[in-house]
Amino acid sequence: MGCIRVDNFTGSDNFIDAAVREINVGTSLRSSSERYESMWKHSQPYYSRICKRDLTVSRRNLANSLQQTAWSRYSTMATALVLKPDQSLHDDLCKKETDGEPLDCNSSLEQRWPVLPILTLAWFKANAERNGKSNNLWQPTIKDLSGMTNDASGKLPRHSSQLFSGHRNGQSNQRGRRRSFGSEDGVISKRRLILQPRCHFSSCSATDKPAPSPALMDEPVANLPADIHWSRSPWLFQSKSLPPVKYMPEVGNGYIATMVNTPWVHMNGLYDGQGTKSSRARIPSLVAFNAKISAKLVSQTFELNTREGVFTETLQYENPSLAVKREVFAHRDNDNLLVSHISFVRPNDGNDKEKRLDITFKNHLNEEQLLSEDIDFAPTDTFTLTSNKSEITFKRADGKTKSPEASEMDPSPVSLLWNSTLRNVSLEPGSETNVHMYAFIGSSFDENLQAAKQYLDLSYQEIRQAHVDRWSSYWNNGRIDVDPKENFQLAQALNGSLYYMLSSLHNKERSGHRYIGLSPGGLARGSVNTNYSGHVFWDTETWMYPPILNFYPDMAKIILEYRVAMLDEAKANAKLTGHEGARFAWESAFTGKETSPWSFSGDYEVHITGDIAFAVRQLLYVIDDKMKAIQDLRLEEMAIEMARFWQSRSTCTDPDGECHIRDVMPPDEYHHPVDDSVYTNYVAKLALELPAYIFKITGNSHPDNERWLSTAKRLVMPKGVSHGKEYHLEFNGFTPGILHPKSIVKVPEIKQADVILLGYPLDMEMSAELRRNDLEMYRKVTDLAGPAMTWGMFAVGYLELEDLKEANSLFEKNYENIVEPFGVWSECSNGEGCLNFLTGMGGFLQAVINGYGGIRIREDYITLHPHPLPKTTTWSLVGYKHLGYQFDMTFDFSQNTMTIRTVNKSSMAPTLEFRTETGNVYDLSRAGHALAIPIEKSIIRPRNSQ
């Protein structure tokens, strides 16, 4: 997965960021032309490097490639930035070129023009960063652009009027094994930088507009302040303006979810489209609507409260005065319920000339006949529910998806049931009113009816409080605390990451509905081939599952239940491909069948079956009642079938010789098919050893167990030597930094974390020297434009080696993927790729827990090796779970003290003790007891264990 470059000669994906770095470290420049000349000067080395990679590239071909790269990452700006004021001169320059003529990389204007679209965008980006431009509709002035023209007149290039008005829709962003037609461009964002295209509502596509507000007038308020997060509470994401729609936050409860103020809702497991065309089915959102108010909007604030799971919009009007507050949430305690509540308060201040204030609601859909491109709905029906207190009118609409995932399936049912008090109103001075929309969404009318009856006689405040209480139960039992006064950015990122992950996870006691796993973009995204269509990948087990297992092991079981439910389909998939056992699909949805539209990943990226086996092992290491989990989740059968697959996928030269796994795609999706991917071979080894571990618990056996263990021991883990330093080869024949024939993108770089995952999370035994060699070798050749989770894994590795300086530098690269103001993660550091990228959040959380916490999960015990997080002295793991215990751990580096408090433990939990590296042993078995000792390497393990 990730941010694969689209050019074939390459280097240009990193070109903009490289140019920006060079510009920002330069001296202060007074004029636009000086800034431009400095940009060119500092960027020449990068430009020359591009040229040297393919000396046969003609001037025109280079221009086309650069423009395609810029197009895919930064919309139509590359084509708009034609640096000749006259198109005929531009064309004339192209005609002078001879096809196939090598490009002379000197600094003459004529020969540097193809790269100027890239350099110009770098200049815009650097200039905006220097001037703190953020969250505003912004475009360069003629004066700003004067340094970009080819003459002294300062005239804008031809077509400059289109500079910030064109956008691409549906442009592919290839994610290695497939294309995702997700994030529409038109926004350059990095950390707090949001450059938004200059456009009006009438000329923008829906995804490029600023998101509508339900009570917003037809025209947006001009020049609203761009302040964000003024309360400085790390669980509050606040802003006085909205980002483009694609960066809007979501509200969800694991069963239903929606991006705020957008037209669609998604339901877990509801897909439309057959096979590789499946994606999340779009359910019309009944909680997204606008209101027209006959007053002047003077202020607005928007807030995502992650502790309460509520999105709030507050608006103030004058002439006449009016206060509006709207709250939206997906109910955490009632999984079917989506809520929107609006209060209107008109003060009696005596200054209003108008007696009445009119409010008119404008819904985006026809409630009498719901429409969706993915679902056929029957006409809406109306009926009445009688409660103990009153009769309440509901509307009902039932439908079915248009195209099932498999031809042998029936279309999937969906049902909506809603009660609305939305109405046009007129307010007198000194009056107020409230309106609401309660929408219940499920797979059947009966399901929604039962959900509605639960809350039939409750007030809005009672409904809201039940929702907040359930969210509080999660936060009280699992979170990471950092003092926001020390590091607000980190504290907020931790809250946001856990909130978004939990928003896509079922409540643990949810019954009657099979959970269809975590997708990279979460539950609120994934329709019409965007954000990987809501499908499930290795991202679930490798990146998102570990932090959930640390804090919410019951939810981790729910994640694993999806794979258990797909076991029979995995067996069929193995048989279909000529193998034994169970082979899980690389990309799956409702049925577990292969749904990857990029056939190479479906054919070759088999390491996912090893990733799932590793997740099974991790679960059994952590929980106390292992036998119950093995029986309830069919884990023994699952382990046996995965071992059978890897045995049939391996080729051994003779009974005692080496074993190989050939023709695979490693996590580095830039290369395939290759032999003996060291990552694939190692997860296969662990999978082959998993049945033996489970047999120790169950007392069972299997006739092929010894054969599996023998194969596991003989699988090749290729190594190489460079300048006298031994390191792991990514695959047989690979040389880091050298273009390999199996590179599908024709670059020497690798895409993302691969070999370095051997140290963590896979916990391969190796010397510190070999671990460092792997880190240093692959850090040099990993694509800087790769996906979000990579650099956190490098940070974990350097923390193992006690190199905090390198670890901190790499860890802070995570912030480049967080888009303000609502903490939405992007797959790529330029704000593009998959949104809201739970995979990156999972890697980020692991970097904190397992990197800075130094926690490693082993068979029945854990190790700790705490380090200070960047710009912090104290941080805590609240509600960490292990073997039936719940711990609160605080690491105070100002006092060199760690405090371990046993909050509670289960009836089956063993007696645990805390052992330090210096030999001290402490009892942890008393609930409520707190242990405070100097910070050092330690382990938590059952008493009398070895």
Question: For residue range 812-845, what is the model confidence (pLDDT) as tens digits?
Answer: 999 999 999 999 999 998 888 999 999 999 999 9
User: What CATH code would you report for 236-476?
Assistant: 2.70.98.40
Compare 38 and 707 and report the one with higher pLDDT.
Answer: 707
CATH number of 479-851: 1.50.10.10
Q: Which of 607, 729, 725, 728 shows the shortest CA–CA distance to 664? A: 607
Measured CA to CA, the distance from residue 628 to residue 697 in angstroms comes to 11
- 58-67, 76-85, 927-936: which is most confident: 927-936
Q: Distances in Å between the alpha carbon of 829 and those of 193, 796, 817, 861, 874? A: 11, 20, 5, 36, 28
- State yes or no: pLDDT of 172 exceeds 90: no
Q: Average pLDDT of the chain?
A: 80
Q: Is the pLDDT of residue 338 over 60?
A: yes
Strands (E), 378-507: 381-386, 391-401, 413-420, 425-427, 432-442, 479-482
Rg (CA), the chain: 29
Q: What does the pLDDT read at residue 384?
A: 92
The stretches of 780-891 forming alpha helices (DSSP H) are 790-800, 804-811, 838-846
Task: Count the alpha carbons within 13 Å of 437 in the hemisphere toward its beta carbon.
Answer: 22
Peptide bond into 597 cis (omega under 30): no
Q: How far apart are CA 683 and CA 764, in angstroms?
A: 10
Mean pLDDT of 349-355: 66
Higher pLDDT among residues 491 and 126, named by residue = 491
For the CA atoms of 541, 546, 549, 555, the dihedral, rounded to the nearest 10 degrees, stands at: -40
For 504-547, the three-class secondary structure string (H helix, E strand, C coil) is CCCCCCCCCCCCCCCCCCCCCCCECCCHHHHCECCHHHHHHHHH
Q: In a 3-state reduction of DSSP, which class is residue 849? A: helix
Q: Tell which phi-psi region holds residue 796, choosing left (phi > 0), alpha (psi between -120 and 50) or beta.
A: alpha
Give the Å distances, CA to CA, from 391 to 419, 447, 677.
12, 20, 65
Given a contact cutoff of 8 angstroms between Cβ atoms, the answer to whether 886 and 904 are in contact is yes
Query: Half-sphere exposure of residue 646, counting CA atoms within 13 Å on the CB side?
Result: 38
> pLDDT band at 785, cuts 50/70/90?
confident
| Residue scoring higher pLDDT (410 or 136) | 410
Output the pLDDT for position 243: 93
Residue carrying the six token digits 């965007």: 530
Q: Which of 706, 707, 727, 705 is nearest to 717 (CA)?
A: 727
| Window from 62-71, 450-459, 874-883 with minimum mean pLDDT | 62-71
The mean pLDDT value for 189-206 works out to 24
pLDDT of residue 514: 81
pLDDT of residue 354: 62
Query: Averaged over 110-116, what is the pLDDT?
Result: 40
CB neighbour list of residue 181: distance below 8 Å, 6 or more residues apart: 170, 171, 172, 173, 528, 529, 530
Q: Answer yes or no: is pLDDT of 290 > 50.
A: yes
pLDDT per position as a tens digit, 507-548: 876 666 789 999 999 999 999 889 999 999 999 999 999 999
In the numeric block, the tokens 């070895």 are attached to: 946
Span of 10-14, 567-571, 770-774 with lowest mean pLDDT = 10-14
Catalytic machinery residues: 669
- pLDDT for position 85: 30
pLDDT, tens digit, for every residue of 539-579?
999 999 999 999 999 999 999 999 999 999 999 999 999 99
Structure confidence by residue, pLDDT tens digits, 578-636: 999 999 999 999 999 999 999 999 999 999 999 999 999 999 999 999 999 999 999 99
Band (101; pLDDT cuts 50, 70, 90)? very low
Give the model's confidence band at 653: pLDDT under 50 very low, under 70 low, under 90 confident, else very high.
Answer: confident
Task: Give tens-digit pLDDT for 706-728.
Answer: 999 999 999 999 999 999 999 99
Confidence of residue 789 (pLDDT cuts 50, 70, 90): very high
State if pTM tops 0.75.
yes
What is the per-residue pLDDT for 654? 83
pLDDT at 805 over 90: yes
Give the up-direction half-sphere exposure of residue 407: CA atoms within 13 A in the CB hemisphere.
0
Question: Rounded to an integer, what distance in angstroms lies between the CA atom of residue 554 and that of residue 619?
Answer: 10
Give the range among 142-151, 379-388, 541-550, 888-897 with minimum mean pLDDT. Answer: 142-151
